[in-house]
Amino acid sequence: MAAVGLAQIPTDLPFQRLTEYYPFISLSAAPIANDTRASENLASPNSTTIFLSLNAAFEQFLAQPPSSPAAGQIESVNFANPALTSDLFQYLQLDGLRPSTSFNGTSFVTTRLNNSTYNHVSGGAKIQVFRNETAFYIKTGINFKSNVVIPDIPFAGGILHIVDHPASPPYDLADTGVVLDITYLMNLTAKENGYTPTIQNTTDTTVFAPSNDAVDSILGTSQTNSTYQQLAEYVVAGSVAYSTNLTDGATLQTVGGQSLVVYNDANGNIFVNSSRVIESDILTQNGVVHIIDR
């Protein structure tokens, strides 16, 4: 097909025909176009917003998925399992028309992924969207960041945003710890500590994870069950508190009964009691993790 300018591309094409004009997303578009459930969603009166990655990035990701022994490395196997593919590609879809101008600053948006095998967040798995005058990107599981390179492509019943990196549905806490080398999460979910069934499968969880250096100070050389019990003091169950919820004066209660008070300083830093949040908003299957300095 001869090159066609963006202004000449029809705005009412069915999703399945978008690759005629945007062949560089054919690989990531195919699983949605060929999936019965996704096709039903696209054909319904309810509008859809979709994020899809460029072919080159998608090919590279399939060839070299995140290097980790994590059992939950679902992306590397999803294309061999049609049912799993169908579930995971729900994570790329949002209900409603969400043009770029509908996003301002940081927001956490509910996706269509709500399979209890992969999600323990009320209402559905979330993605983080950030947009200002100079940047527009999404962040997904295991801290994947995908910059929007072509926004606001209309199609019949929806809007497509093309990104430069595939999205990753959130991992569970244990595998998030393995992939991102977060010692606290690996210790918290270790089977011998007895917390795995509770923490891993608890709906709507916020974890304030001390940095690796801080964990060494907390646990020291005596890494027994009693010292691991201290780790529960950093877990909030029943509430997902993203950075946008950590406003000055907000309070949270941990599963260990400790009260956490949020403080925002003049430089925009977030403190929880005396600990500073040094990395925020790592999305997991049951909520969010924030890394704190102590």
pLDDT, tens digit, for every residue of 101-121?
Answer: 999 999 999 999 988 888 899
pLDDT, tens digit, for every residue of 182-197?
Answer: 988 888 777 656 665 5
Torsion of CA 128, 133, 135, 138, to 10 degrees: 20
Which residue do the tokens 């060929």 mark?
A: 34
Residue 51, helix vs strand vs coil: strand
Is residue 18 very low, low, confident or very high in pLDDT (cuts 50, 70, 90)? very high
DSSP state of 111: B
Cα distance between residue 184 and residue 190, in whole Å:
10
Which residue do the tokens 């877990």 mark?
A: 235
| Per-residue CA distances from 173 to 107, 180, 246 (Å) | 22, 11, 21
Cα distance between residue 218 and residue 222, in whole Å:
10
In the predicted model, is pLDDT for residue 96 greater than 90? yes
CB 12 within 8 A of CB 59: no
| Per-residue CA distances from 175 to 68, 72, 122, 189, 271 (Å) | 9, 6, 21, 9, 26
Q: Which two tokens stand for residue 74?
A: 């679902």
pLDDT, tens digit, for every residue of 38-87?
Answer: 777 777 767 999 999 999 887 877 666 555 544 344 444 444 555 556 66
Cα distance between residue 219 and residue 201, in whole Å:
24
- pTM strictly above 0.85: yes
Q: Which residues pair with 290 in a beta bridge?
A: 208
